[in-house]
Structure 1
Amino acid sequence: MGRLRSSELEHFVHLGKRKYRRERRALKKLFHANEHRVEPNAKVTDRSIFKYWKNRMTLFSQMQNKDIYMTRELWFSVTPESVAKFVARFIKSCLPEAKVVLDVYCGGGGNTIQLAQYFPKVYGVDNSLDHLYCTYRNAQAYGVEDRVWLKYGDWRELSRKRRFEKVAVDCVFSSPPWGGPEYLRSEVYDLEAALQPQGLRETLAGLLRVSENVVLFLPRNADLSQLSQVTRELLGEQALCKVLYVKQNGYMKGILCFWGARFYNYTRNAAETSNAALEPSGTAGSCDAVPESNAQALDYSVDG
């Protein structure tokens, strides 16, 4: 049981305004009921999420020590912590001077939290108030809530209204909804038809309007030819998209796609800020012939 303090409400951008009074009441109810708190040792009865619960410590390492909050959907959509940590370190290595990062479709905050470990200000956007609530609660568990600012709304609408284009965002990260576990039923994942709530082209175009540095976490079976085609359509025939194949404990978790010259024209000095050694658990790949000689300059480890 608890209440939403004014200092906490400030981190839910614009929810203090009168037009959001309904959402504000709903958020207060979530705090008061301590909704969605996970009992880490209480075995889940929903068989569809059991395998995710079984690996719960890989999602949030603090689950046994601190209160962690998850909706049913978040069990199969939160980025594993080691992967989220790798993403944050990699972005920091390439953009050491960056201050502000935007996480679109932030879900339960897996990526938001790790980004906040390295950057002083992280915006998270989601159209689920329950998910934003979980993100903030989980950020509290990791002690980074003061660095996290959450915006409730449909990203398609926010993008159409160019809401974040006036904010000095140094990098945009996004792990758009893949459509649930069903994404693995297709041999090749169609990034235009299956990616939710909009296809790759529209998603990437909107993110690039906010920052030239964009990172997408996509399914491991994503169609790379679509990545190449959309990259050229939006950025020109000579544009590059850097692709990393991310493995955890030998299991392919997905691919990371990077747009922005700083992600492949980096220097060894910048890379040294990652403070970690190379390990074989992270596999690097490329789209449109990104120079592989650069692959040794940054930390590709997921488990390190």
Structure 2
Amino acid sequence: MKRVNKLPLTSQCHHWTRLGEVPWNLQKYWQQRFTIFPYYNEGIYMTPDAWFGVTPEPVANQIARDLSSIISTSKTTVIDLFAGVGANAIGLALATAEDGSTPRWEKVIAVELDAPTLACAQHNASLHGVADNIIWVLGDSFKFLDTLLNSPENLEDDLQVDVESTALFASPPWGGPGYSTDDIFDLNTMEPYNLDQLHGAYRRMDHALYLPRTSDLRQISKLVPDGSKIDVVQYCIEGASKAMVAYLPATRDEDEDTHMES
């Protein structure tokens, strides 16, 4: 787990310009490339796996605006825990404060486990002019958070952020049965990380979870501290829902104990 300034694009990083270059199982995604990245032709790079999970740029930008307004302005650092090829981190880095003249976030940290994917993210952020406005971390986001919470002295100085003024954004993988076909998706079956694992890791900070559009709202509601209300937003492109985001407040230990007893 380390901060990286610039990773080189590798053979796993692609900017395909013709359908014949694209593996057959990715062709339908590539044909939607301008919906995913409107400026794809400017030189956007992707890894093959990234096509399955990337947040479309218009959605990422709207999420960044919503996160900026829903999360308290006392939160000045945001961590993108599954940076992928950069769509969400770019949106967060581009977000402005209410006056429109200053960045909403003093610090944007993007964590990604796969080096070629992170190289694509850095390259794509450079096309948007914000690569230097993001702190890039190569490593496992759960280990990063554990270190931040329990032994921050083991992190580089600019990664030792104040937990109380930090918010989290997570767009985890959605593997497992049924997420694309079930009328109501059971978040306890989501792989490789289910809802309890994610919330357990993130609960000490305000966090936003990017989830399948059919996610079970009853399971999400069980995470809400008593007496609180949360925002759950469906994000659509061309009239079709792509995903939902649940914006969850930090949970105090006593709130967690109450839920465990109920």
Per the alignment, residue 256 of structure 1 pairs with 245
Q: What is the rounded CA distance, in whole Å, between the counterparts of 2:74 and 2:202 in structure 1?
A: 20
Q: What is the rounded CA distance, in whole Å, between the counterparts of 1:51 and 1:181 in structure 2?
A: 21
Q: What is the rounded CA distance, in whole Å, between the counterparts of 2:246 and 2:19 in structure 1?
A: 37
- Give the stretch that moved more between structures: 44-53 or 125-134: 44-53
Does the CA contact (< 8 Å) of 1:125 and 1:150 recur in 2? yes
Matched, 1:241 2:230: yes
Please report how far the alpha carbon of residue 98 of structure 1 lies from its aligned counterpart in structure 2 after TM superposition.
4.5
Please report how far the alpha carbon of residue 186 of structure 1 lies from its aligned counterpart in structure 2 after TM superposition.
2.6
AA at the equivalent of 2:236: K
Per the alignment, residue 4 of structure 1 pairs with none
Equivalent runs, 1:289-300 vs 2, <5 Å: none
Give the match's secondary structure for 1:64.
helix
AA at the equivalent of 2:136: L
AA at the equivalent of 1:116: A
Does the CA contact (< 8 Å) of 1:246 and 1:255 recur in 2? yes
Q: Deviations over 1:140-160 (max 9, x none)?
A: 111100111111222233333
Matched, 1:197 2:192: yes
Aligned CA distance change for structure 1 residues 139 and 229 (closer, same or farther; 3 Å): same
Aligned CA distance change for structure 1 residues 98 and 47 (closer, same or farther; 3 Å): same
TM-score (norm 1): 0.68
Does the CA contact (< 8 Å) of 2:12 and 2:48 recur in 1? no
AA at the equivalent of 1:229: K
Per the alignment, residue 114 of structure 2 pairs with 128
Please report how far the alpha carbon of residue 74 of structure 1 lies from its aligned counterpart in structure 2 after TM superposition.
0.6
Does the CA contact (< 8 Å) of 1:13 and 1:151 recur in 2? yes
TM-score (norm 2): 0.78
Give the match's secondary structure for 2:44.
coil
Q: What is the rounded CA distance, in whole Å, between the counterparts of 2:12 and 2:193 in structure 1?
A: 30
Give the match's secondary structure for 2:39.
helix
Please report how far the alpha carbon of residue 35 of structure 1 lies from its aligned counterpart in structure 2 after TM superposition.
5.2
Matched, 1:61 2:38: yes
Matched, 1:99 2:92: no
Across the aligned residues of Structure 1 and Structure 2, the Cα RMSD in angstroms comes to: 2.7
Does the CA contact (< 8 Å) of 1:220 and 1:252 recur in 2? yes
Matched, 1:225 2:218: yes
Equivalent runs, 1:98-247 vs 2, <5 Å: 98-118=75-95, 119-162=105-148, 166-168=160-162, 169-179=165-175, 183-194=179-190, 196-209=191-204, 211=205, 213-231=206-224, 235=225, 237-247=226-236
Aligned CA distance change for structure 1 residues 215 and 98 (closer, same or farther; 3 Å): same
Unaligned runs of 5+ in 2: 96-104, 153-159, 251-262
Per the alignment, residue 71 of structure 1 pairs with 47
Unaligned runs of 5+ in 1: 1-11, 17-23, 262-304
Q: What is the rounded CA distance, in whole Å, between the counterparts of 1:97 and 1:159 in structure 2?
A: 20
Does the CA contact (< 8 Å) of 2:45 and 2:120 recur in 1? yes
Q: What is the rounded CA distance, in whole Å, between the counterparts of 1:181 and 1:55 in structure 2?
A: 24
AA at the equivalent of 2:187: L
Q: Deviations over 1:128-172 (max 9, x none)?
A: 112111111110111100111111222233333345975135321
Does the CA contact (< 8 Å) of 1:193 and 1:199 recur in 2? yes
Per the alignment, residue 284 of structure 1 pairs with none
AA at the equivalent of 2:231: K
Does the CA contact (< 8 Å) of 1:124 and 1:149 recur in 2? yes
Give the match's secondary structure for 1:220.
coil
Does the CA contact (< 8 Å) of 1:62 and 1:141 recur in 2? no
Q: What is the rounded CA distance, in whole Å, between the counterparts of 1:163 and 1:73 in structure 2?
A: 30
Q: What is the rounded CA distance, in whole Å, between the counterparts of 2:36 and 2:26 in structure 1?
A: 13
The correspondence for 1:51, drawn from 6, 28, 34, is 28
Please report how far the alpha carbon of residue 77 of structure 1 lies from its aligned counterpart in structure 2 after TM superposition.
0.7
The correspondence for 2:17, drawn from 15, 34, 40, is 40
Q: Deviations over 1:194-235 (max 9, x none)?
A: 1x33221221232232x2x2111100111111111233xxx3
Query: Which protein has greater RCO, CA pairs closer than 8 Å, 6+ apart?
Result: 2
- Give the stretch that moved more between structures: 168-177 or 72-81: 168-177
Per the alignment, residue 89 of structure 1 pairs with 65
Does the CA contact (< 8 Å) of 1:44 and 1:53 recur in 2? no
Determine what percentage of the aligned residue pairs are the same residue.
30
